[in-house]
Amino acid sequence: MEFLNEIKRRRTFGIISHPDAGKTTLTEKLLLFGGAIQEAGAVKSNKIKKSATSDFMEIERQRGISVATSVLAFIYRDKKINILDTPGHKDFAEDTFRTLTAVDSVIVVIDVAKGVEEQTEKLVEVCRMRNIPTIIFINKLDREGKDAFDLLDEIEQKLDLKVTPLSLPIGMGYDFKGIFNIWEQNIQLFSDEQKQTIGKKLTFNSISDSKLEKAIGSAHLELLKEELELIEAVYPKFNKKAYLDGKLNPVLFGSALNNFGIEELLNCFIEIAPEPLPKVSEERMVNPDEKKFSGFVFKIHANMDPNHRDRLAFVKIVSGTFERNTPYLHVRQNKKLKFSSPNTFFAEKKEIVDVSFPGDIVGLHDTGNFKIGDTLTSGEKIKFKGIPSFSPEHFRYINNKDPMKSKQLSKGIDQLMDEGVAQLFILNLNGRKLIGTVGALQFDVIQYRLLHEYGAQCSYENINVYKACWIEADEKSSSFKEFKRVKQKFLAYDKKGQLVFLSDSSFSLQMTQDKFKDLQFHFTSEF
Ligand code: G4P
């Protein structure tokens, strides 16, 4: 019984946004409300500033922070909340995609003035593909921004999400009076002109309550009434099942900087957000309430200290309990491993934990056993699905600059690829190594880390590749043989030995797809 209660009280989610929309501020405010930190400013931003793209100390600083903020856990109204941090910088988008495989829901932060931005679109697309329950928080209402209804339209159109507003701003920017909470049927008002502090909260029975007019004035009240009618006419009523199925997305308004709408967001979140969900493995569906432990690695973090080469593998617990000093099966390597000091994360502190439950994240010290996507179980041979590699957007040959250090270079490349920093492809024709990344910044990161952590030097050489496609085909078919013959210059193998076609332009990709119709071209490694 206690086991089931522990599962039920967990909420594991991620906050995603375009940089600068207010993800760090919101995270911090949630921790403040949860009593996990005492003062603002405690959570450091892990974003790499634009001006610092070639500043490696900045990259290291960011890596340091991202260990500390990988998982931020706190208790709020008896719920154990796990926030999984996602990097804001677009060059690290693949990290975010992988973290999204470990969340049960997400909150998307949108800047009221900027609306839906590029990075939000990309990240929400991944959430939509997986039907991850999504709440939208529109931030910075203390500033002048877009009209609430225009924004709701923009979200529906650009993000292809069905929305239902659960709160509504009264005024905005200079004229911002507060938030009408449709969910709880109350109003939170700003208390002063500087818009710095939260004022009183007003609870009322109906929109005609005289307290309301006194508080916001007749003009605002009339507008509010009209807007509420519009909401009722245009938007579907909130429906928990539709939200949990990823088909309806609640929208709330507020200002993270001014603590406005945060408590409301948190209250709404713990009431509606899903507890740990079942997860598909290649063999079967695994339910959280199964007694036997299972989990998977969604992130690996290398030690910042080059003298200690151990790494921290982040495991999301899917079912059963994870216990310290208990042997578990590393399914890919088919060997048992025991962990004497698994870490749990509380606010920003790491602690050794004896027992963890589904929904929790444990950090396991690893000396090179784990790769992203690995499954760990009590003994059953299952493999969790859902951590694909995406086709990289930048490609370069990687060369060894110091022939005396070729072993160090291979080891370094191997380990960095296991961490998911980039993808390695080996050309079929001549065995040359090619690195593919989501962002250009990763090439600098790899070069820097190879030198500082492995003592190896590499150089890059440009290659014209537009996209990598994973090929699925009947290996005996004549068209596959023909494809391999004609395209041999463009074929490579990824780290798992899967065949990859490196097309040099979108035109040639289209031509090849048209010519070899019975081959399948996949843009992710999992199909
Ligand atoms: P990110 O993690 O999504 O990148 O955003 P972050 O929280 O770092 O916020 C980006 C900027 O927006 C910060 O200002 C932050 O103070 C500001 N901000 C966040 N929420 C609100 C809000 O509700 N209202 C207003 N007006 N501003 C908000 P900065 O000047 O870039 O940084 P800082 O010097 O304040 O830390």
Ligand 1: distance of its center to the CA of 15 in Å? 15
CB of residue 114 inside a 6 A radius of ligand 1: no
- Does 23 contact ligand 1 (Cβ within 6 A)? yes
Q: Mean pLDDT lowest for which of 55-64, 404-413, 461-470, 479-488?
A: 55-64
- The model's pTM is 0.85
For the CA of 258, the closest atom of ligand 1 is 23
Which residue among 17, 20, 96 is best mutated to probe the pocket of ligand 1, counting the most ligand atoms within 8 A of its Cβ? 20
By C-alpha distance, which of 120, 146, 104, 404 is closest to 272?
Answer: 104
For ligand 1, say whether the CB of 29 is within 6 Å of any of its atoms: no
For the cut 80, the answer to whether the pLDDT of residue 191 exceeds it is: no
Q: Chain-wide mean pLDDT for the chain? A: 87
Which atom of ligand 1 is least distant from the CA of 139? 23
Contact by Cβ (8 Å): 300, 370: yes
Distance CA 86, CA 431 (A): 35
Written as one string, the DSSP assignment of 99-127 is HTTS-SEEEEEEETTTBS-HHHHHHHHHH
CA of 257 to the centre of ligand 1 (A): 7
Is the C-beta atom of 24 inside 6 A of ligand 1?
Answer: yes
Q: Is 47 in the pocket of ligand 1 (CB under 6 A)?
A: yes
Is any atom of ligand 1 closer than 6 Å to the C-beta of 398?
no
55-82: average pLDDT: 73
Nearest ligand 1 atom to the CA of 27 is 7
43: tokens are 């959570």
Q: Which CATH architecture has domain 394-522?
A: 2-Layer Sandwich (3.30)
Is residue 255 within 6 Å of ligand 1 at its C-beta?
A: yes
pLDDT tens profile 357-391: 999 999 999 888 898 899 999 999 999 987 777 88
Is the domain spanning 2-272 CATH 3.40.50.300? The answer is yes
| pLDDT value of residue 11 | 97
Checking DSSP bridges between strand 375-377 and strand 328-330, what pairing results, if any? antiparallel
User: Between these two residues, 333 and 302, which has the higher pLDDT value?
Assistant: 333
Q: Express as a percent the part of the chain with pLDDT over 70.
A: 88
How high is the pLDDT of residue 88?
A: 66
Best CA proximity match to 499, nearest among 467, 469, 464, 465 = 469
Domain ranges of the chain: 2-272, 279-377, 394-522
Q: Give me the pLDDT at residue 281, please.
A: 94
Superfamily in which the 279-377 domain is placed by CATH: P-loop containing nucleotide triphosphate hydrolases (3.40.50.300)
Neighbours of 515 (CB within 10 A): 13
Q: When comparing pLDDT for 303 and 110, which is higher?
A: 110
Reduce the DSSP state of residue 283 to 3 states and report it: coil
Spatial distance between the Cα atoms of 495 and 484, rounded to a whole number of angstroms: 19
Instruction: Answer whether 20 contacts ligand 1 (Cβ < 6 A).
Output: yes
Determine if ligand 1 sits within 6 Å of the CB of residue 428.
no
Atom of ligand 1 nearest to the CA of 17: 3
| Within this chain, domains 279-377 and 394-522 share the same CATH topology | no
- CA 467, CA 464: separation in Å to the nearest integer? 10
Query: What integer pLDDT is reported at residue 199 of this predicted model?
Result: 56
Q: 273 CA to middle of ligand 1, Å?
A: 25
Measure 26 CA to ligand 1 centroid, in angstroms: 9
